[in-house]
Amino acid sequence: MNKGKKETLMELARWIKESQRIVVFTGAGISTESGIPDFRSPGGIWDRFDPSELSYPNFIANPVSRRKYWEFYREYWKGATGVQPNSAHRAVADLEQQGKVMAVITQNIDGLHQAAGNSPAKVLELHGTMWEVRCLSCNYFYPWEEIFNLLEGGREVNNCHQCGGLLKPATVSFGQSLPVGTLQEAQRCSMNCDLLLCIGSSLVVYPAAQLPETAKNSGAKLVIINRESTPLDSIADLIIKGEAGEIMTGVLELLEQV
């Protein structure tokens, strides 16, 4: 690690030490080192699927799009089954153990924060979870494995056996509203935190990307950890470029020295 980078990590370690109410805000980039590709990096999911075709209005209106959507999920479930949290997820869980974390607001649908040890009550899944399938009409729950096995067997997903409604993974698609209560709680935490640590989000998907701005405008320090630049770099108090796992492991080690 070069000297400049170590000093930057030291600065973050000091800020973490001083903070009592940290919000960790994560995007797909925190999970790439676990083997789940993000959407926008080269080789990401949008290279193979057209996001506009997988939108919520298309899912509702068009059986062909629905089939494409399930094809996408079959592939996604297959790729994410058995995937383990990485050192960045574990570092976030460690911060919660140290009593520092007010909330982990995530755009991710993979459940890896909870798998790393963050308490489910603190993890706010803005875009839902891929590990549940629900009826859009009556909210009846279906185990994802049941639907996955259907798809693997080359069969179609039937409508809800309770009410005839459409089934869909419990995730938020483009054109679909975010869960109101979760979003409100995320806004409340962003307004009341003293440090917002943004890890691996391109910060282009709204309204989620509004939350780091809310935190900054409410007086919190904003730190952005990403391989690439983001649209909020200009308002960040600290930008750390690189791999989330290495950076978070380094910061946690330094936390013992500051």
Name the residues that contact ligand NAD, by CB under 6 A.
Answer: 27-29, 31-33, 36, 38-41, 44, 107-110, 127, 200-202, 205, 226-228, 243-244
| Minimal distance, residue 132 CB to ligand NAD, in Å | 14
Q: Give whole-number Cα distances, 221 to 141, 178, 250, in Å.
A: 40, 26, 20
44 vs 117, beta carbon nearer ligand NAD: 44
Angle value at C-alpha 21, between 255 and 258, nearest 5 degrees: 15
21 vs 83, beta carbon nearer ligand NAD: 83
| Minimal distance, residue 171 CB to ligand NAD, in Å | 7
| Minimal distance, residue 112 CB to ligand NAD, in Å | 7
Residue showing the smallest CB distance to ligand NAD in the complex: 29
55 vs 107, beta carbon nearer ligand NAD: 107
- The yes-or-no answer on residue 161 being catalytic is no
Residues forming a β-bridge with 25: 105, 198
163 vs 204, beta carbon nearer ligand NAD: 204
For residue 212, give the H/E element and its range: helix 210-217
| Minimal distance, residue 154 CB to ligand NAD, in Å | 26
- Other beta carbons less than 10 A from residue 4's beta carbon: 8
Please provide the DSSP assignment of 148-189 as one string: HHHHHTTPPPPPPTTT-PPEEEEEPPTTSPPPHHHHHHHHHH
- Side chain identity, residue 30: I
Task: Name the residues annotated as catalytic.
Answer: 127
